[in-house]
Amino acid sequence: MALTLQRSGLHDWVLQRITAVYLLIYLFGTSLYFVANSPPTGITYEYWHATWQLPSLRYATFIMVLCVCCHAWIGVWTIMTDYVKNIRLRMLMQFSVMLTLIINLLWAGDLLLWGTK
């Protein structure tokens, strides 16, 4: 019910688990990449800048941000539905959270997908 009005709770539960698995894979993958490819002199600005120019890392990071937003929305929606009984307050809180998530997703898209090279 969190993402659409016609879905079941099972759909949201599965979607939240899939996003959690992607987040775990992203964490281990990027950690492994940085450990395996960091220069012996330490991470410098030039290394960091060159690394973030890799399209694969940029796309994977954008997907990670998308998964975080989806994962967070399902969790927040579930908690607010269970514990905030005042409809107006709950709608205001859910709108605020959704607006924040959308702004963060657009900002990440701007930085990662359309940012300067």
Residue range 9-112, CATH number: 1.20.1300.10
> Domains of the chain: which residue ranges?
9-112
Is the pLDDT at 83 greater than 90? The verdict is yes
Structure tokens at 3: 């993402």
Instruction: Compute the half-sphere exposure of residue 98: CA atoms within 13 Å on the CB side of its CA.
Output: 11
In this prediction, residues 73-84 reach a mean pLDDT of 94
Rg (CA), the chain: 18
| pLDDT tens, position by position, 33-71 | 989 988 888 888 999 888 888 999 999 999 999 999 999
State the Cα angle at 21 between 81 and 93, rounded to 5°: 25
